[in-house]
Amino acid sequence: MKNNMYLSKPQFDAELNKCLQCQTKPCMKACPVSCSPKDFIGAAKSNQPETAAALIDAQNVLGEVCGLICPDTFCMKACVRQNIDRSIEIPAVQAYIMRHARENNLLSVTEGVSNGKKIAVIGLGPAGMGAIAELLKRGFYVEAFEKENIVGGALNLIPQMRLPREIINYEWQKLQQSSLLKAHLGAAVTDYQSLISDGFDGVIVCNGEQKCRTMGIEGEENAVLYTDYLRAPEKYKTTGNVAIVGGGAVAVDCAVTARLGGAKNVEMFVRRKIGNMRITSQERQTLLDNDIDITTMTRIVKIVRQDDLLTAYTVKTQFNDEGKLVDVADTMIARRGFVHIVYALGSSRAEDLIESEKIIYAGDLVNGGSTAVQAVASGRDAAQKISQLLIG
Ligand SMILES: Cc1cc2nc3c(=O)[nH]c(=O)nc-3n(C[C@H](O)[C@H](O)[C@H](O)COP(=O)(O)OP(=O)(O)OC[C@H]3O[C@@H](n4cnc5c(N)ncnc54)[C@H](O)[C@@H]3O)c2cc1C
Ligand code: SF4
């Protein structure tokens, strides 16, 4: 998480100048959608912003979104420049280029000549959008179905300070320019086979992970699920104490949201050690910058509401000789005085996957909690697969 969302012009120029233009393109090879930083940086450096943006857009329908939220574990991890000093800030460079393209209306949707085939795409998160972009390029007629009244899926849970909603909407509006696309919002679909019976030549299901994980402990109805918390953080604003249950990236977003909302103390409860937390170095730094408390090797076992405040009963945990996490006997204590206890344990899929030749699943629904760029890649791959089946 960066404090400033976009690079300044001098910072942008400095990053461009640092790029070594490596001929083997390790940065591209590490990108799930095979976007080529070497080439878009080269174009930007040669003062060709439109070409730079088009190179990104051709590979990634969510070019600006991913520029803002991609972790440093893909292209940046492969960047050769780190052998000299540090990796090029590739996602930030990408975000800068795509913001310029958005503000100057440089890009439009790419659609192929109609091939007469009709595909249904269900779920309009990154995977659904990745699938749609690829299908339109190949000339398919696409009908998209989204159960919510907004598009973007889990992107809508990412705090606005990291990802303003207008960017998601802009990327979607670009796709909607296509005469080959018809979208139905507020339209949940569960019977995929009936779409085939209704004349669709194929269905790509990109429903994400819709079931929030819980712990099954006494009193957990008093906790707030991270989806509710992040969807409407203003509803949960408090100057009191907030507990966050979980130690991953979603928990970090919840903790920072609580802190920026004015919470006095924000404490994360993590069952394992700090070193076991599945967060990036940037996220670790964010926790430090925002003065978030982390209570490790601790499990909440019961939540009790007393008037307006919540008490969390906790026990200490330890790894036994087999490496299994177990409770430590006689360590239960009552931690009083929380205004909110937020469950940030991630989600899992809410449906069984019954794939057939014409019904394909993509994104987090198949791959588990991943990243936006991986979901886009998965949606695109599904579109390529169905295209191969239908038109070769
Ligand atoms: C708090 C949070 C922070 C994150 N931070 C980052 C980050 O910094 N960087 C990053 O790259 N990734 C991040 N992610 C992960 C990223 O958002 C997901 O990996 C990505 O959105 C998954 O895309 P998807 O399309 O597979 O699923 P989703 O985004 O979950 O989209 C699924 C869509 O399907 C719709 N749907 C479900 N069932 C139906 C149905 N029956 N009919 C019609 N529509 C349906 C849903 O409403 C939803 O719109 C974060 C996720 C969260 C929750
Ligand atoms: S690996 Fe790094 S330095 Fe080399 S071309 Fe890619 S971005 Fe530039």
- Tens of pLDDT, residue by residue over 195-246, are 999 999 999 999 999 999 999 999 999 999 999 999 999 999 999 999 999 9
CA distance 204 to 120: 6
Q: What is the pLDDT of residue 271?
A: 96
CA of 19 to the centre of ligand 2 (A): 5
Contacts of 290 (CB under 8 A, 6+ apart): 255, 256, 259, 260, 266
Identify the nearest ligand to the CA of 20 by its number. 2
**Cβ of 75 less than 6 Å from ligand 1:** no
**Cβ of 27 less than 6 Å from ligand 2:** yes
Report how far Cα 166 is from the mean position of its chain's Cα atoms: 16
CA distance 363 to 191: 19
Identify the nearest ligand to the CA of 81 by its number. 2
Q: Where along the chain do its domains lie?
A: 9-103, 118-209+349-391, 212-346
The domain covering 118-209+349-391 belongs, at the CATH homologous superfamily level, to FAD/NAD(P)-binding domain (3.50.50.60)
CA distance 140 to 120: 10
**Cβ of 81 less than 6 Å from ligand 2:** yes
Contacts of 118 (CB under 8 A, 6+ apart): 140, 141, 142, 143, 199, 200, 201
Q: How many residues does the chain have?
A: 392
User: Residue 200: what residue type?
Assistant: F
Q: 């018809």: which residue's tokens?
A: 182
CATH class, range 212-346: alpha beta
Fold (CATH) for 9-103? Fumarate Reductase Iron-sulfur Protein; Chain B, domain 2 (1.10.1060)
Answer yes or no: is pLDDT of 171 > 90. yes
Answer yes or no: is pLDDT of 156 > 60. yes
DSSP 160-189: TTTS-HHHHHHHHHHHHT-TTEEEEES---
The mean per-residue pLDDT over the stretch 136-162 comes to 97
212-346 matches 9-103 in CATH topology: no
How far is the CA of 8 from the CAs of 5, 67, 97, 206, 253, in angstroms?
10, 14, 12, 36, 25
Q: Which residues of 107-127 are buried (b: 16+ CB within 10 A; e: fewer)?
A: bebbbeeebebbbbbbbbbbb
**Cβ of 123 less than 6 Å from ligand 1:** yes
Report how far Cα 337 is from the mean position of its chain's Cα atoms: 32
- DSSP letter at 356 equals B
Identify the nearest ligand to the CA of 257 by its number. 1
Query: H or E element: which one contains 90?
Result: helix 90-103
**Cβ of 189 less than 6 Å from ligand 1:** yes
Residue whose C-alpha is closest to residue 151's, from 185, 192, 110, 190: 185
Whole-prediction pTM: 0.96
- Tens of pLDDT, residue by residue over 110-129, are 999 999 999 999 999 999 99
Q: What is the pLDDT of residue 4?
A: 78
